[in-house]
Amino acid sequence: MSFSMYFTIDADLDRRLIKEKIYGTWQKETAVQYHEEFVKVAQPLIGGEWAKIINLNNWKSSYPEMIKVIGDHLNWCRKNGMVLSINIITNPITRNQLKKMFNIGETGRISRIVRSQEDAEAILAERGF
């Protein structure tokens, strides 16, 4: 598990699932640190198919320069086995930033946006996670 004041990242190896919670307003440096920590946590899953679930309800609109960093992060995830990304988010402004990241990372087809943990868990179960 990895955590900072801006994020927590945990791998559930039995479910092939990375669980995240994101907090606050991010700058580019926060996004870079997040990716570095994510890569460490994800290592046991690389080489197989895996999913991630991200609770973004405490994430605030962030600096524009971090959008490309997270878009590149999503691209890395896709190229390293991520087949599903479930994003729990209710704020329409941050949801728009998230969609820009999907476009950069080319993850639009494998990313889902839901409003609750229950909806997220239903999609994960449906897909075998």
pLDDT in tens, 81-111: 999 999 999 998 899 999 999 999 999 999 9
Which CATH topology does 2-126 take?
Transcription Regulator spoIIAA (3.30.750)
pLDDT at 2 over 80: no
C-alpha angle with apex 125: 88 to 60, nearest 5 degrees?
A: 10
pLDDT tens for 65-86 read 999 999 999 999 999 999 999 9
Which pLDDT value is given to residue 3? 65
| pLDDT value at residue 62 | 81
Residue 9 pLDDT: 98
- Pairing assessment for the beta strands 111-114 and 82-88 based on DSSP bridges: parallel
- Count of Cβ atoms closer than 10 Å to residue 73 Cβ: 22
Q: How far is CA 19 from CA 26, 64, 93, in A?
A: 19, 24, 23
